[in-house]
């Protein structure tokens, strides 16, 4: 992860790693997203061909937000996964919260990952992101992106050039908010939360994805800085900033942590294993986990 633009090797004129022809914005986006998925084991996503149809048994983000039957099928499958994996039937709002959290985190990482790695913000519309209604896996149709003036792909069709870093961060925040807004509206009655809590959850997952990528690259502190620059405080519609703080551990070590604004309700399934950034998890327990202390 870098905080300055570092671009992948530019395809030679007349060739593209994905298409065998002149490089396109969608080919570059697809390559970036494929590389991101390879770096992030928790991101279950593959790249779909531009112009391809949504396979049977899948739904795109627009369909999830616009058709209750698709959303209900995804929630039912999640409830079955919880039953099989944890031996208990989740409440309907818990299943809905888990589905929403997975969608927000995955889409947030798919949009923020190329920004972290290449200073390119992909344009991902709801219809460009597909979800398996049985497994919850993701598939992405790549398109154009926004970048900075020094990007070697700046002149390609489908690329929007922004003047500076803050404009690119604003593009990422706005693009993510615009993508997830219809789903938040559709799922709100099922998760039984108001707009502030839902947007808090969206902000949590956007920050969490950047932080996770930093850890996967062995550059956690840079990930923390990038997430803090992306959400330095409340930026509408997100009600809170990244708000990282430090925990003091043994031998002078410190660890970054934050407390989520929203909640995925994982603690209702595994009461003894609330998430590490859950408001229910105190600092002593966080340190115990971070330092691998089996006691307590």
Kindly give the confidence (pLDDT) of every residue in the chain, 296 residues in length, as a single tens digit, with 9 standing for 90 and above: 444 444 343 333 333 444 445 689 999 999 999 999 999 999 999 999 988 999 999 999 999 999 999 999 999 999 999 999 888 888 999 999 999 999 999 999 999 999 999 999 999 999 999 999 999 999 999 999 999 999 999 999 999 999 999 999 999 999 999 999 999 999 999 999 999 999 999 999 999 999 999 999 999 999 999 999 999 999 999 999 999 999 999 888 999 999 998 777 888 888 777 788 888 888 998 999 898 864 43
User: What is the domain partition of the chain in residue ranges?
Assistant: 25-242
Q: Is the dihedral of CA 127, 2, 35, 256 positive or negative?
A: negative
Cα(69)–Cα(26) distance, integer angstroms: 31
**Which of 212, 62, 47, 222 has the alpha carbon at shortest distance from 126?**
62
**d(C-alpha 123, C-alpha 128), whole Å:** 9
First-to-last alpha carbon distance for the chain, in angstroms, is: 35
CATH entry, 25-242, from 1.10.3470, 1.20.1070, 3.40.50, 1.10.510: 1.10.510
Which residues share a beta bridge with 161?
A: 147
Strand order, beta sheet including 58-60: 45-47, 138-140, 129-132, 58-60
- Using CA atoms, how far apart are residues 139 and 279, in angstroms rounded to an integer? 32
The separation between CA 106 and the C-alpha centre of its own chain, rounded to angstroms, equals: 4
Alpha helices in 40-133, H assignment, sequence order = 61-66, 68-86, 92-118
Work out the number of other CB atoms within 10 angstroms of the CB of residue 56: 6
Fill in the DSSP letter of residue 277.
T
Q: Tell whether the torsion through CA atoms of 177, 183, 189 and 191 is positive or negative.
A: negative
């Amino acid at each position: 992860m870098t905080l300055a633009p570092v671009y992948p090797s530019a395809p030679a004129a007349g060739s593209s790693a994905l298409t065998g022809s002149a490089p396109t914005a969608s080919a570059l986006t697809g390559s970036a997203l494929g590389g991101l998925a390879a770096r992030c084991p928790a991101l279950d996503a593959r790249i779909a061909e531009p112009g391809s149809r949504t396979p049977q048994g899948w739904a795109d983000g627009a369909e999830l937000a616009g058709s209750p039957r698709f959303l209900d099928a995804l929630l039912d499958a999640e409830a079955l996964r919880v039953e099989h994996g944890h031996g208990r039937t989740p409440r309907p709002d818990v299943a809905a919260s888990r589905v929403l959290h997975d969608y927000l985190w995955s889409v947030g990482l798919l949009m923020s990952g190329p920004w972290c790695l290449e200073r390119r913000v992909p344009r991902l519309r709801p219809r460009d992101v597909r979800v398996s209604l049985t497994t919850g896996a993701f598939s992405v149709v790549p398109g154009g992106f926004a970048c900075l003036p020094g990007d070697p792909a700046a002149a390609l069709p489908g690329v929007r050039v922004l003047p500076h870093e803050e404009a690119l961060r604003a593009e990422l925040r706005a693009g993510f908010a615009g993508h997830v807004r219809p789903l938040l509206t559709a799922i709100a009655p099922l998760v039984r939360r108001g707009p502030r809590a839902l947007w808090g959850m969206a902000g949590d997952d956007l920050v969490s994805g950047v932080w996770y990528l930093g850890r996967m690259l062995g550059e956690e502190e840079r990930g923390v800085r990038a997430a803090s620059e992306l959400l330095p405080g409340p930026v509408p519609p997100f009600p809170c900033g990244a708000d990282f703080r430090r925990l003091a551990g043994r031998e002078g070590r410190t660890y970054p942590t934050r407390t989520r604004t929203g909640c995925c309700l994982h603690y209702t399934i595994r009461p003894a294993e609330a998430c590490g950034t859950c408001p229910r998890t105190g600092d002593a327990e966080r340190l115990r986990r971070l330092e691998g202390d089996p006691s307590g």
